[in-house]
């Protein structure tokens, strides 16, 4: 049986983009790190031969606008750095025509304020953060598999995240629209920030789709095989 690439995402919408590539199977963590790890372990057992962290990210560096595509050179979490597969990262960089690989910070919860983003940037030197990359890095290292990180900035460093947006993520990576609306009813002042975040997210998803279309089968890994 031919192996495949595992694409680990937070949202099901991100996974639907990744799944359009041949030889890719996706899992969406929905913000639950333990659940994501179990899903990845299951796919490794079924023949996954490489893992990519694929999706949106929070910007930590102020120069990164929504829609900016980044390839991770390393993932930093809890004082440890995990090096991504150098050949895969270099190939993604070349295919997308983007700058050198960067450091991505792994976090266990969303960064809801500009202060939290600035602080993490200062502490780690990472320019973006997400909740899936460090799990990918840990599991790939444990199983001796290559891993890569492809992330697109959704909320820039100066953008706060309203509670309504956090309420909307379901455990399966879907969006709970009723929960978002319920939060807005209780705190209608969130609406302007939520609308700006929505526009940023649309730009990021468009960027993610462009990146996907340029990478081809296996999200670029097949070209290395």
The predicted-structure confidence for 100-121, as pLDDT tens digits, reads as follows 999 999 999 999 999 999 999 9
Domains and CATH numbers, the chain: 4-224 (3.40.50.1580)
The answer to whether the CB of 152 falls within 8 A of the CB of 55 is yes
pLDDT, average across residues 183-203: 81
pLDDT, average across residues 198-208: 92
| Backbone conformation region of residue 186, classed left if phi is above 0, alpha if psi is from -120 to 50, else beta | alpha
The answer to whether the CB of 213 falls within 8 A of the CB of 206 is no
Tell how far CA 134 is from the center of its chain: 10
The answer to whether the CB of 127 falls within 8 A of the CB of 64 is yes
Q: Is the pLDDT of residue 11 over 80?
A: yes
Measure the CA–CA gap between 66 and 29, rounded to whole angstroms: 22
Give the burial class of 142: count Cβ atoms within 10 A of its Cβ; 0-12 exposed, 13-18 middle, 19 or more buried: exposed
pTM of the shown model: 0.91
pLDDT in tens, 63-91: 899 999 999 999 999 999 999 999 999 99
Q: Is the pLDDT of residue 156 over 70?
A: yes
């Amino acid at each position: 049986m031919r192996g495949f690439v595992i694409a680990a995402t937070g949202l099901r919408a991100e996974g639907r983009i990744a799944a359009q590539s041949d030889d890719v199977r996706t899992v969406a963590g929905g913000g639950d790190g333990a659940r994501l790890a179990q899903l990845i372990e299951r796919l490794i057992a079924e023949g996954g031969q490489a893992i990519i962290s694929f999706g949106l990210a929070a910007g930590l560096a102020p120069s990164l606008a929504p829609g900016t595509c980044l390839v991770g050179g390393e993932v930093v979490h809890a004082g440890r750095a995990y090096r991504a597969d150098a050949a895969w990262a270099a190939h993604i960089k070349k295919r997308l025509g983007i700058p050198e690989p960067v450091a991505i910070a792994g976090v266990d919860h969303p960064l809801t304020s500009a202060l939290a983003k600035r602080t993490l940037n200062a502490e780690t030197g990472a320019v973006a953060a997400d909740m899936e990359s460090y799990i990918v890095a840990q599991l790939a290292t444990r199983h001796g598999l290559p891993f890569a990180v492809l992330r697109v900035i959704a909320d820039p460093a100066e953008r706060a995240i309203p509670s309504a947006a956090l309420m909307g993520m379901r455990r399966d990576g879907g969006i709970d629209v009723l929960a978002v609306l319920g939060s807005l009813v209780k705190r209608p002042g969130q609406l302007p920030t939520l609308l700006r975040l929505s526009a940023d997210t649309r730009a990021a998803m468009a960027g993610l789709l462009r990146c996907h279309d340029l990478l081809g089968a296996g999200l670029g890994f097949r070209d290395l095989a």
